[in-house]
């Protein structure tokens, strides 16, 4: 990862680092930890939303190394074990080719539209043409918000009136992009609760109408997750994975969260790659997930 992005990643993890990992500092510098210190470390790691499984694994490794070697470097062990846990699902790069449709899904307010806007700008800046589809037809404001992002990115937006059928507008967008030979179609969708059956079925309807135009579509389904909800977001994520054929994850609002450690249980439980993380509201605040930058950002003050 390039230096600038690395810094940005680190900046995005600042709240998690300061709130949860900095207080670990005095323990990570020790070479021998007594039982009370081990317990303190365990408690702090659990508070970081790393998940019980990962924390158990870290503690086991510390205890067994200490027994075997007499001394340990807790920070090095933490880095090594965390990297092992999060490196299993490398994200597939976004490479332009024949028309590819990307659908963004998730619960309300997680950052779908913002992520779409950032992604559109990013692809366009690389010189790749993008068509954006306003598939959230529930609110007029949602369509306007997407128009604004489209303008900023310099890409066209396909929209119909409020209350229109999202599957129909998705169909129109895919048809138009295919006819023009554009490499990317990004489709925004309305926020929906994973427990609302009819809304989850609507995603299926969008899929089917896209497939009428492009048999492989949607080529990617990005599930957008809000990092500030920590492990509470895992249940909804699993429901979306089941119902919406999710291929990649986007973890937004990392900058506003002290629960950045949630990356670990997310990757463990969902077994999907994190394609991007959101580290702010600006157009450049969407960056590829990088395991090394993540671990360094958490543990290096």
Ligand X SMILES: Nc1nc2c(ncn2[C@@H]2O[C@H](COP(=O)(O)OP(=O)(O)OP(=O)(O)O)[C@@H](O)[C@H]2O)c(=O)[nH]1
Residue ranges binding ligand X (CB under 6 A) = 106, 108-114, 136, 142, 191, 252-253, 255-256, 278-281, 285
Cβ closer to ligand X: 233 or 278? 278
At its nearest, how many Å lie between ligand X and the CB of residue 189? 8
H or E element, residue 189: strand 184-189
230-237: long-range contacts at Cβ-Cβ below 8 A with a sequence spacing of 24 or more? 230/49, 230/257, 230/259, 230/262, 231/49, 231/51, 231/259, 231/262, 231/265, 233/262, 233/266, 234/265, 234/266, 234/269, 234/270, 235/194, 236/107, 236/193, 236/194, 237/266, 237/269, 237/270
Cβ closer to ligand X: 15 or 241? 15
At its nearest, how many Å lie between Mg ion and the CB of residue 106? 9
Contacts of 253 (CB under 8 A, 6+ apart): 111, 226, 227, 228, 278
Asked if residues 135 and 187 have their Cβ atoms less than 8 Å apart, the reply is yes
Residue 189 as a binder of Mg ion (CB under 5 A): the answer is no
Residue 114 binds which entry of Mg ion, ligand X, none, with Cβ cut-offs from 5 to 8 Å by kind?
ligand X
Residue 281 binds which entry of Mg ion, ligand X, none, with Cβ cut-offs from 5 to 8 Å by kind?
ligand X
Size of the site for Mg ion (CB under 5 A): 2
Cβ closer to ligand X: 74 or 280? 280
Angle at 186 (CA atoms; ends 182, 191), nearest 5 degrees: 165
Task: Out of 113, 209, 252, 257, point to the residue binding Mg ion (CB under 5 A).
Answer: 113
Cβ closer to ligand X: 256 or 273? 256
Cβ closer to Mg ion: 58 or 132? 132
Question: Which residues of the shown chain bind Mg ion in the complex (CB under 5 A)?
Answer: 112-113
């Amino acid at each position: 990862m390039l230096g600038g992005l690395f810094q940005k990643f680190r900046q995005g993890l600042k709240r998690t680092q300061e709130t949860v990992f900095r207080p670990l500092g005095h323990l990570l510098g020790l070479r021998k930890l007594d039982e009370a210190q081990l317990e303190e470390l365990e408690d702090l790691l659990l508070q970081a939303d790393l998940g019980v499984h990962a924390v158990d694994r870290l503690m086991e490794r510390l205890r067994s190394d200490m027994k075997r070697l007499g001394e340990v470097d807790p920070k090095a062990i933490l880095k090594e074990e965390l990297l092992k846990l999060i490196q299993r699902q490398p994200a597939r790069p976004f490479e332009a080719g024949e028309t590819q449709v990307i659908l963004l899904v998730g619960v309300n307010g997680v950052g779908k539209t913002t992520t779409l806007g950032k992604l559109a700008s990013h692809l366009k800046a690389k010189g790749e043409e993008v068509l954006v589809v306003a598939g959230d037809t529930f609110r007029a404001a949602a369509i306007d918000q997407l128009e604004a992002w489209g303008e900023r990115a310099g890409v066209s937006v396909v929209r119909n009136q409020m209350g229109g059928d999202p599957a129909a507008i998705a169909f129109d967008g895919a048809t138009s992009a295919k006819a023009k030979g554009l490499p990317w179609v990004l489709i925004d969708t309305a926020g929906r609760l994973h427990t609302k059956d009819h809304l989850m079925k609507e995603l299926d309807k969008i899929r089917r109408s896209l497939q009428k135009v492009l048999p492989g579509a949607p080529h990617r389904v990005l599930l957008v997750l809000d990092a500030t909800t920590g492990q509470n977001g895992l249940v909804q994520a699993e429901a979306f994975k089941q119902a919406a054929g999710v291929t990649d994850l986007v973890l937004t609002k990392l900058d506003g969260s002290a629960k950045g450690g949630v990356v670990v249980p997310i990757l463990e439980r969902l077994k999907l790659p994190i394609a991007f993380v959101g580290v702010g509201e600006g157009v450049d605040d969407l960056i590829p997930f990088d395991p090394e930058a993540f671990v360094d950002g958490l543990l290096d003050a």
